[in-house]
Amino acid sequence: MKNAELRIEKPPLLNSQFSILNLALAAPALLFLVLFFVWPLIEIARVSFTPSEISRGATPFSVLLDPAHLRVLWFSFWQAALSTALTLLAGIPIAFAFARYRFAGQRLWRALAVVPFVMPTVVVAAAFSALLGPRGALNAALQSALGLDQPPIQLLGTLPMILLAHVFYNVAVVIRLVGGFLSAFDPSIEEAAAGLGANRWQTFRHVSLPMALPSVGAAAALTFLFTFTSFGVVLILGGARFATLEVEIYRQTAQLLRLDVATSLAIVQMAVTLLVGWASARLEARASAPLEARPTRDIRRPAASPAARMLVAGSLAFIGVVLVLPLATLSWRSLNLEGNDPLRYYVALSENVRGSLFFVPPQTAIRNSLIFAAITAALAMLLGLPLGYAIAQGGRPNANGARLARLLDALLLLPLGTSAVTLGLGFLVAFDRPPLDLRRSVVLLPVAHTLIALPFVVRAVLPAIRSFDPRLREAARGLGAGPLQALRYVDLPLLAPPFIAAMIFAFTISLGEFGASLLIARPEYPTMPIVIYRFLGQPGALNYGQALAMSTLLMIVTAVSVMVIERVNERVAAQ
Amino acid sequence: MKRLILLLTTATLLAACAVQAPPPRAAEQPQPAAPRTLTIMTHDSFGASEDVIAEFERANNAKVVILKSGDAGSTLNKAILSKDAPLADVLYGVDNTFLGRALAAGILEPYNSPALADIPDRFKLDPQNRMLPVDYGHVIINYDKAFLKDKGLAPPKSLRELTEPQWKGMLVVQNPATSSPGLAFLLATIAAFPEGSDYDWKRFWQALRANDVYVSPDWSDAYYTQFSGSSGKGPRPLVVSYATSPAAEVFFSEGKLEEPPTGNLEGTAFEQIEFVGILKGTKNRDLAEKWVDFMLSKRFQEDIPLQMFVYPVAKSAAWPEVFVKFGQPPAQAFSLTPEQIDQGRERWIEEWTKLVLK
């Protein structure tokens, strides 16, 4: 099962044609990244390292001499490593259950698992507090059951709380990426292992896991970067005692206006990202082996054995208790707050009692959110899929430009590991003159979201494209199909699950208003998370109630959108 | 694949069209000459009534664009970083804790507005009138009345009392490095326990830490998730918030509350004043002046309380009933000069972080 054994030899001429094609495939995405990522960063670095009142000569090397910064770097690193390990531990069995077994409500459960991904941290903090806080439901129940004076669970403001929140946010990444990968490829090899006398654990350990390794690597890299650059979770749920590099960059920028220090720290953060990108790119490229793709419906079977049923039940219990229950507590509150009529705060969302200029009807917020998310998903897929193919094909060991492809693969994760604060200021100084005075343009919103979504899309589809046995496609070409036709009738139907996973995350990354702080000065196109933050900015039951109501709407919109995207794409793929 | 691409492209185009055409606002009526655009850069907490802004737009044949640019500190940074190609004509929302930095950056033009005549001198902190006062408020500790009554505790009468054992584990503050009320409260303690005195602010904070103070990153988390007196029903009965928060609780209770569920602790307040100024390089200087005059006029000043929950600075501005009844400013407030704040801020935040969080 080594890559080399199945390498397809091609005459040199074909090879160079391929590299031109690959370049053409990669070009749009590369142009996008140079314009909206590389250039703003160069500009902000130029401003930050030119001596002035906001820059006093710090460099990426000098900031590392400060033990306080080293401690922050070290904490960012090990908490991310630990969070990633826990997320994989929880996510892989669930991914396996979803990929291999069929059960009632599967689509809904899978959609529910994605909902945490879009929730604003301040809402998630409120949810965990309502459940696990000193006056939360669990503590209240335990206290009355055991007759205790003090709440027995003291999680808020501790490291375990940060880790739990990171699992809560990122487990969907593992479920979707690994699950999507597994449900595209033929499980008969697992059955063969079982037939040869391997028990379930041995089959999983020696067959399924190595088979899924490229997608596990991708999910791990993405989870690591999300948690390495964690901002809100560490700030709010960590109770201010913990700081990641991202938190320190924000502090240096917003409160101290030390751009030299902030940008230096951002460069350190990017260096670590590059290492992670490089390591994961190597792991994924090495671990990928040609696999036989099969339609998902032929892969999933009913959970018949007791062990299979336990796996499914355990997976659903995890999603129900860890992911759904905290959020459901808040929705429940939105219906019961201050003994009001259950729908009072939902109705209030449409009332502009104070005649405020900034009033946003809920349908407008939902519409804006959906529009930006749709544009982001479209843009990220249109740029990301071709780039994924270019990297996978160009990166084959004997291909021309293999080095370039491998370098791209490693560099690709950089936007995920770049400080949003720094990049936002980069936009401010880079796009300040015609023809590109985009600072106040609404275009920057989907552009910023796409910057995060694009690496995600490529990383999500790469393992599947790499493992996809090229002989299938070549057979289609041999029968006279053009390259696009081969893509449409061979790749697309068979690789639908990982492609859908990629699209769903591109969509939800925007829906969750990732990188909102990126935007330097936004005109009024408020999205759902922005409206939630606004309500939480003023005291009073009406504000809190409306924030909870809007959060509940966000959960519903997310779950429904995810299900619709899945359904529509599966139909398209099946045709 | 083609259909997929087609679908995606159509979705993109449709979405782009939808974004391009925001629904027209009722206030915009056809004008003979095209209205000029006036851009105001401000923080996320800015609020105003629709008809008040429309009135300005009608009177001056203008279109007002509000650029919300993050929290107060981020907004100022963005204004400073874009000074060579200004994003806006007017900057609003710099407070006395950031005033020194704003003035030192040289991003503002002086304007001696005639409307300043209606404003008490104590608010005018910039003699050159590059930044003009608009509103003020107080960061202060709120307490949960029911909680304290339940425990048979009388509200603490001074900052110092908060370090006593009966208040152990009861106070929530915000991190001054990430929150503007957090910074204001730190400044209150520095003014109350000055450096160089026997019992300075560092000793006070050491004692607070020993008394299990909880540090939130921002106001929303502190007030809704940690504080017991809010609708979020958190665990702790004392929180750093605003002097108008009790009035807001009544106002936003939709008639359910006749009395605030929370009260203010006298002797814990720090005064915050917010300023407006004209950005250097504006091409609409005359219109920007009109806007500054308008913000200081009775019409805008009287709109401030219920939109932003702070007090108007104009003497002639009447206060809404809920402010008169429940939102009176504290009798005393601590203060530091903008110069003191500017010189000390960075060092104080560093020292506070080491003292309280490490």
pLDDT for A17 equals: 52
- Rounded Cα distance between A567 and A564, Å, is 5
**Top-confidence range, A60-64, A210-214, B69-73, B99-103:** B99-103
Q: Are A77 and A228 in contact (CB under 8 A)?
A: yes
- Which residues of chain B neighbour A388 with C-beta distances below 8 Å? none
Angle between helices B285-296 and B50-60 (to 10 degrees): 140
Q: Do A487 and B1 touch (CB under 8 A)?
A: yes
Backbone angles phi, psi at A481, to 5 degrees: -75, 140
Which CATH architecture describes the domain B137-271+327-357? 3-Layer(aba) Sandwich (3.40)
Question: What is the pairing mode between strands B171-174 and B238-242?
Answer: parallel
Q: What is the CATH number of domain A25-331+342-574?
A: 1.10.3720.10
Q: Do B85 and A437 touch (CB under 8 A)?
A: yes
Q: Are A417 and A269 in contact (CB under 8 A)?
A: yes
- Which residues of chain A neighbour B183 with C-beta distances below 8 Å? 255
Angle of CA points A272, B71, B92, to nearest 5°: 140
Q: Do A539 and B252 touch (CB under 8 A)?
A: yes
- Which residues of chain A neighbour B241 with C-beta distances below 8 Å? 539
- Rounded Cα distance between A351 and B299, Å, is 23
- Which residues of chain A neighbour B44 with C-beta distances below 8 Å? 533-534, 537
* Interface contacts (A, B; CB < 8 Å): 217
Instruction: Indicate if the pLDDT at residue A466 is higher than 90.
Output: no
Identify the helix (H) or strand (E) that includes residue A462: helix A444-467
Higher pLDDT, A440 or A37: A37
ipTM value, please give it.
0.86
> Which one of A53, A247, A356 has the shortest CB-CB distance to B49?
A356
Cα B120 to Cα A304, A489, A517, B115: the distances in Å are: 80, 76, 37, 11
Any A CB within 8 A of B8 CB: yes
**Among the listed residues B116, B96, B152, the one whose alpha carbon sits nearest the alpha carbon of residue B275:** B96
pLDDT for B85 equals: 87
Any A CB within 8 A of B60 CB: no
Instruction: Indicate if the pLDDT at residue B15 is higher than 50.
Output: no
Cα A458 off chain centre by: 12
Q: Do B230 and A544 touch (CB under 8 A)?
A: yes
- Which residues of chain A neighbour B178 with C-beta distances below 8 Å? 235, 240, 247, 250-251, 254-255
Angle of CA points A40, A45, A47, to nearest 5°: 95
pLDDT for B119 equals: 96
Q: Are B323 and B244 in contact (CB under 8 A)?
A: yes
Q: Do B77 and A544 touch (CB under 8 A)?
A: no
Pick the residue from chain B with its C-alpha nearest to A354. Answer: B49
- Which residues of chain B neighbour A538 with C-beta distances below 8 Å? 248, 252, 309
Q: What is the DSSP letter of A4?
A: G
**Among the listed residues A412, A523, A421, the one whose alpha carbon sits nearest the alpha carbon of residue A458:** A412
Instruction: Indicate if the pLDDT at residue A475 is higher than 60.
Output: yes
Instruction: Indicate if the pLDDT at residue A185 is higher than 90.
Output: no
pLDDT for A516 equals: 58
**Among the listed residues B335, B345, B276, the one whose alpha carbon sits nearest the alpha carbon of residue A251:** B345
Amino acid at A498: P
Instruction: Indicate if the pLDDT at residue B7 is higher than 60.
Output: no
Q: What is the CATH class of B25-135+273-320?
A: alpha beta
Report the pLDDT averaged over residues B315-337.
94
- Rounded Cα distance between A321 and B23, Å, is 42
Residue partners of B205: CB distance under 8 A and separation at least 6: B189, B352, B355, B356
Interface subset of B 147-206, CB within 8 angstroms of A? 175-178, 183
The string of DSSP letters for A295-312 reads -HHHH-EE--SHHHHHHH
Cα A171 off chain centre by: 10
pLDDT for B358 equals: 77
- Rounded Cα distance between A291 and A184, Å, is 9
Identify the helix (H) or strand (E) that includes residue B238: strand B238-242
Residues of each domain in chain B carrying CATH 3.40.190.10: 25-135+273-320, 137-271+327-357
Q: Are A229 and A213 in contact (CB under 8 A)?
A: no
